[in-house]
Structure 1
Amino acid sequence: MTHGTLWKGAASILIDFSAWTSTHGIPHIGLANARWLRIFWIIIFVICCVMFVYQEALILIKYFSYPVNVDTALSFGERVYPAVTICNINAYKLSLAKAHPDLGKLINAYTNESTNADFGFETTTYDKQLRATRWMNLMYSNLEEYDKTNKIAYTYDDLVITCTYNTESCNETEWKQYNDPYYGRCFTFNYDGGKKSSRAGPLYGLSLVLRVNQAEYLPWAQSAGITFLVHEPSDHPFVYTSGYYAAAGSASSVGIRYISKKKLSAPYSDCTDNGSEQKIYYETNRYQTEACVRSCLQDKFTATCGCFDPTYEYLNGSAEFSSCYKGTKGDTSKNIVCMEKITDSDGVNGFDINKDCDCPQSCTDCIYKMTLSTAYWPAIKYTPTECVNPVPGHIYWAPKDDKKACKEWYKSNTVYLEIYYERMNYQALTESEAYAFLALVSDTGGQVGLWLGMSVISVIEFGTLFVLLLCYCLTRPKEAYLPQFDDTDEQKQREWQRKMQLKLEKENNRKLSAGSLDSIYNGKDVDLPPAIQAAN
Structure 2
Amino acid sequence: MANYEWEGENASKSAATAVATMSLSEGQSSRVYFASVDKYESACALLRDFCARTSSHGIPLIGSPAFFNRCVWTFITLFCFIAFLVQTYWTLSDYLQYRTIIEMQLKFEPAPFPAATVCNLNPFKHSEVLKYEDLARGLNIWTNEMDKMDASKRMIHVRKKREPVVYEPIKVQCRCVYGNSHCVPKRDPFSQNDTMCICFKDKSSSNIWPCYPEVVWEEEKCYSCSTTNTCIHPKRFPKPEDLLPEEPTRCLCQSVTHNCVVFTGDIPMWTPYKYSAYVTSPDADNEELKAYGMKDKNDLTSKTVGVKEAIINLVAAMPREHRQNLSYTLHEFVLRCSFNNFKLHMDPVYGNCYTFNFNDSVELKNSRAGPMYGLRLLLNVNQSDYMPTTEAAGVRLVVHEQDQEPFPDTFGYSAPTGFISSFGLKTKVLHRLRAPYGKCEDDFRPEGYIYEEHYSPEGCYRSCFQHAVINTCQCGDPRFPLPPGFSHYCDIKNNTEMACMSNFTGLRGFHHIQHECNCVQPCNENVFETAYSCSAFPALMFNLGSKCPGVPEISNNSQDCTEYYRVNTAYIEIYYEQLNFETLKETPGYTLVNLFSDFGGNIGLWIGFSIITSLC
Q: Is the 8 A contact 1:278 1:296 kept in 2?
A: no
Distance 1:86 1:309, change over 3 A: same
Distance across 2 between alignment mates of 1:405 and 1:351? 48
- 1:90-147, CA deviations, whole angstroms, 9 ceiling, x for partnerless residues? 1111012100122122111211232274024123211111111111211233445453
Matched, 1:342 2:465: no
Deviation at 1:14, TM superposition (A): 2.3
Matched, 1:235 2:404: yes
Q: Is the 8 A contact 1:52 1:447 kept in 2?
A: yes
1:152 to 326, 343, 365: 326
- 1:305-354, CA deviations, whole angstroms, 9 ceiling, x for partnerless residues? 11012321223443xx622125xxx21x553443343344467xx98222
Distance across 2 between alignment mates of 1:221 and 1:359? 34
Query: Partner amino acid for 1:101?
Result: E
Aligned length: 433
Distance across 2 between alignment mates of 1:178 and 1:132? 23
Q: Is the 8 A contact 2:419 2:534 kept in 1?
A: yes
Deviation at 1:18, TM superposition (A): 1.3
Alignment-derived partner of residue 79 in structure 1:
111
Task: Look up the SS of the partner of 1:422 in the other structure.
Answer: strand
Distance across 1 between alignment mates of 2:500 and 2:567? 39
Alignment-derived partner of residue 423 in structure 2:
254
Alignment-derived partner of residue 35 in structure 1:
67
Task: Look up the SS of the partner of 1:339 in the other structure.
Answer: helix
Matched, 1:112 2:141: no
Distance across 2 between alignment mates of 1:260 and 1:116? 55
Query: Partner amino acid for 1:192?
Result: N
Deviation at 1:276, TM superposition (A): 6.1
Q: Is the 8 A contact 1:110 1:132 kept in 2?
A: yes
1:94 to 104, 112, 126: 126
Task: Look up the SS of the partner of 1:115 in the other structure.
Answer: coil
Query: Partner amino acid for 1:147?
Result: H
Distance 1:203 1:414, change over 3 A: same
Query: Which ranges in structure 2 are unaligned for 5 or more consecutive residues?
Result: 1-38, 146-282
Deviation at 1:33, TM superposition (A): 0.5
- 1:7-27, CA deviations, whole angstroms, 9 ceiling, x for partnerless residues? 994433322221111111110
Deviation at 1:190, TM superposition (A): 1.1
Alignment-derived partner of residue 481 in structure 2:
313
Alignment-derived partner of residue 405 in structure 1:
560
Query: Partner amino acid for 2:311?
Result: M
Matched, 1:425 2:559: no
1:125 to 294, 300, 303: 300
1:389 to 523, 543, 547: 547
Q: Which moved more, 1:41-50 or 1:452-461?
A: 452-461
Percent of matched pairs sharing the same residue: 34
Distance 1:266 1:276, change over 3 A: farther
Matched, 1:179 2:337: no
Matched, 1:162 2:317: no
Alignment-derived partner of residue 65 in structure 1:
97
Matched, 1:445 2:600: yes
Alignment-derived partner of residue 199 in structure 1:
368
- Which one has a larger percent strand, Structure 1 or Structure 2? 2
Distance 1:373 1:344, change over 3 A: farther
- 1:204-257, CA deviations, whole angstroms, 9 ceiling, x for partnerless residues? 101111111112111111111000111111112211111111111221111111
Instruction: State the TM-score, normalizing by the size of structure 1.
Output: 0.76
Alignment-derived partner of residue 323 in structure 1:
489
Task: Look up the SS of the partner of 1:112 in the other structure.
Answer: helix
Alignment-derived partner of residue 230 in structure 2:
none
Alignment-derived partner of residue 224 in structure 1:
393
1:272 to 441, 446, 452: 441
Using CA pairs below 8 Å that are at least 6 residues apart, which structure has the higher relative contact order? 1
Distance across 2 between alignment mates of 1:368 and 1:85? 14
Alignment-derived partner of residue 205 in structure 2:
none
Deviation at 1:448, TM superposition (A): 0.4
Alignment-derived partner of residue 263 in structure 1:
432
Matched, 1:22 2:59: no
Q: Is the 8 A contact 1:278 1:358 kept in 2?
A: no
Query: Partner amino acid for 1:47?
Result: F
Deviation at 1:79, TM superposition (A): 2.5
Distance 1:370 1:23, change over 3 A: same
Query: Partner amino acid for 1:66?
Result: Y
Task: Look up the SS of the partner of 2:284 in the other structure.
Answer: helix
Alignment-derived partner of residue 375 in structure 1:
535
Q: Is the 8 A contact 2:547 2:556 kept in 1?
A: no
Deviation at 1:45, TM superposition (A): 0.3
Alignment-derived partner of residue 517 in structure 2:
357
Distance 1:444 1:316, change over 3 A: closer
Bigger Rg, structure 1 or 2? 1
Distance across 1 between alignment mates of 2:576 and 2:611? 57
Alignment-derived partner of residue 518 in structure 1:
none
Q: Which moved more, 1:35-44 or 1:350-359?
A: 350-359
Distance 1:77 1:251, change over 3 A: same
- 1:237-289, CA deviations, whole angstroms, 9 ceiling, x for partnerless residues? 2111111111112211111111110111111122332436553121223x211
Task: Look up the SS of the partner of 1:416 in the other structure.
Answer: strand
Task: Look up the SS of the partner of 1:424 in the other structure.
Answer: strand
CA RMSD of aligned residues (A): 2.3
Distance across 2 between alignment mates of 1:140 and 1:24? 82
Q: Is the 8 A contact 2:317 2:489 kept in 1?
A: no
Distance across 2 between alignment mates of 1:145 and 1:52? 70
Q: Is the 8 A contact 2:548 2:558 kept in 1?
A: no
